[in-house]
Structure 1
């Protein structure tokens, strides 16, 4: 995964259900700065039967009669949030409690702070369980949402034996949506210098890149394409970014968070704790949230003479990066 240094430096992921979430079965992506559509699910007898006690952000106390077996995914906003509802394209941070809706068994509670750990990054995307996507569309930042998901919107007819979910079992989620990040950079547009690759944005913010037929820069060079007004990124920060990377030689896309359906989360640093190649960190550190930056990265600040996966040795790289937030 290209701007990462190596798999072992990509940061730890949470175990059990949250691990599956960040791996793509429940990995959610939520988007903002656009008018949110109507929720993809509504409340019903099953979701209304989920009793949730406790304050938002605290570990919930959850009770419900089992089995719950709705024909369609249902969601009930237990605590109302503020702002627009979540949509495709935003990364979010949530507290996540998961139960077997057929047996009432608790499967995992994580992300509520304290012993349950930090909030879990989730995003509404095509790689996410359909029922969880539908449930998240019912909430906004500050929402506590109870979601009941039937088999067809969950793990399907095979269930998931490793999580204790048998064929036919429903799932119950309680989600505290603690933060959500914009879907794209929203800073003021600035012009780039001559000799830089041309960048054209699709309506959703996805960049198209054309590299000039000229020799690349010999050092890492950064241009601000949009200047944000948010928090300044410091060395050691964990950031939420959207990015696309191409090789200078042929403008070929070798990695893109846009193509994966969700912004990426990574630690940038000018030290050994960085999770990404040096040129990628250099492009982001010192910039403001809301900015879009472009960076030319020579092999010395990229993958050197070794290359990586589909990046040839001694490749100069070009990235367009939307800086969406600091965690």
Structure 2
């Protein structure tokens, strides 16, 4: 059941998602920046797409993870208010093709290699969009600490 819930959460937006305009994206980005400024002393970087990240550990793999790779991953997922919606430990690592994951995870994984850990804030337009899941409200900014156990 846990694998089904996780799989459905991660590929949910592959099928339908609202398009966001620049003003909406700017509002989400401002919320993320304000949250990071109020909670962290560490600096987060951002990609042009709107993904905010902090590499905790780059990993020891031979190459950065690619869209065509298959990965065993573990993570803690939470909402901007701190409510944790799922924890997958390294011992429970789940296997996915990177291409099947939400865009925010695809981008985050491309920053690290096997053994790496990255912390990310994903705006809705890179995550689940206006789709609501059992544990994630629509248009939610989501936070993950994501680790890669193995690249296959």
TM-score interval (norm. to shorter): 0.5 to 0.7
Structure 1 unmatched ranges of 5 or more: 10-193, 199-217, 269-273
Identify if the C-alpha distance between structure 1 residues 308 and 242 changes in structure 2 by more than 3 Å, giving closer, same or farther: same
Q: Secondary structure, in 3 states, of the residue corresponding to 1:234? A: coil
Residue of structure 1 in register with 2:141 after alignment: 316
User: Residues of 1 paired with 2:39 and 2:114: CA distance?
Assistant: 23
Following superposition of structure 1 onto structure 2, how do residues 276-287 of structure 1 map, counting pairs within 5 Å? Answer: 276-287=101-112
Does 2:123 correspond to 1:292? no
Residue of structure 2 in register with 1:236 after alignment: 68
Q: Secondary structure, in 3 states, of the residue corresponding to 1:254? A: strand
The Cα of 1:290 is off from its aligned counterpart by 1.4
Identify if the C-alpha distance between structure 1 residues 294 and 287 changes in structure 2 by more than 3 Å, giving closer, same or farther: same
Identify if the C-alpha distance between structure 1 residues 237 and 282 changes in structure 2 by more than 3 Å, giving closer, same or farther: same
Q: Deviations over 1:201-229 (max 9, x none)?
A: xxxxxxxxxxxxxxxxx921121011222
Which of structure 1's runs of 4+ aligned residues deviate more than 2 A? 194-198
Root-mean-square deviation (CA, aligned residues, Å) is 2.6
Q: How many residues align?
A: 116
User: Residues of 1 paired with 2:150 and 2:39: CA distance?
Assistant: 25
Identify if the C-alpha distance between structure 1 residues 244 and 229 changes in structure 2 by more than 3 Å, giving closer, same or farther: same
Determine which structure has the larger helix proportion and give its number.
2
> TM-score, normalised to structure 1's length?
0.33
Give the number of the structure whose alpha-carbon radius of gyration is greater. 1
Structure 2 unmatched ranges of 5 or more: 16-35, 41-48
Residue of structure 2 in register with 1:302 after alignment: 127
Aligned match for 1:4, one of 7, 10, 33: 10
User: Residues of 2 paired with 1:196 and 1:5: CA distance?
Assistant: 31
The Cα of 1:231 is off from its aligned counterpart by 2.9
Higher RCO structure (Cα 8 Å, ≥6 apart): 2
